[in-house]
Structure 1
Amino acid sequence: MTNRMKAKGDRYERDMRELFRANGFPGCERTKAGYERDAGDLHLDPVLGIGPGVIVQCKDVKTPLWSEWLDGLTEQVGESRAEVGFIAWKRSRPGKAPLNLAVMPVDAMTYLLRRAGYGTALGD
């Protein structure tokens, strides 16, 4: 990766960290770059000795590589021992404000919705 692309990615990670901190996740931290065992870019709610509940993989590129990123996300959730993870992708279009999207597997989203109290009781 060129220094320009690395700087762009680092800036997006910092921007997302600040967004999450300002929106109810004051403990959100970036992970160390270049770590051999990738555990995601951001840990939203790190708990000392336990690990994060939610990790984020940040992407600020023009063309998304969904299959590759989702495979990596699965590995990162396992490596970090997180409950769930998602991809934050900055969608940029000329002449329009950027749009940050959160992408995750439907089973992970359903899990979060259930934890938030949505849905009805599941049958045994």
Structure 2
Amino acid sequence: MYPPESTWKFENFFALVSRSISEYSNSTLLMEEFPDAMMTSTRNPADISKLHKYIVGVAQDEMIEDEVIIPYTAKGIIGEIRANMSVIKEEYEYSHIKLTVRSNAIDLERLKKSMLGLSTDDS
């Protein structure tokens, strides 16, 4: 499925996939070539856990928290929020729901644009 060796770059994140790291006599040479690397093995559950925590941490660092007010008359907005954002807090009012969400800036801006024109009676 993957070539024998390849490198992917996601901003500052590199993944080196190799069938064998035997070309490096030891991990010291690998760390010299890739000083910011996180040495992991797919066969070690602790390494996978460490890598997962790192990726989740990077994603969460880029998220921002904001409050959105959604009138009950809005169709599909809450489903979109739950699909694309983390809901931190929910408050139910007479005419609307107030949600505190964590999201990346792009999804949050898209939500705000889709909500233009929607209004609540008592906000």
Which of the pair is proportionally richer in strand? 2
What TM-score do you get using the length of structure 1 for normalisation? 0.21
Bigger Cα Rg:
2
What TM-score do you get using the length of structure 2 for normalisation? 0.21
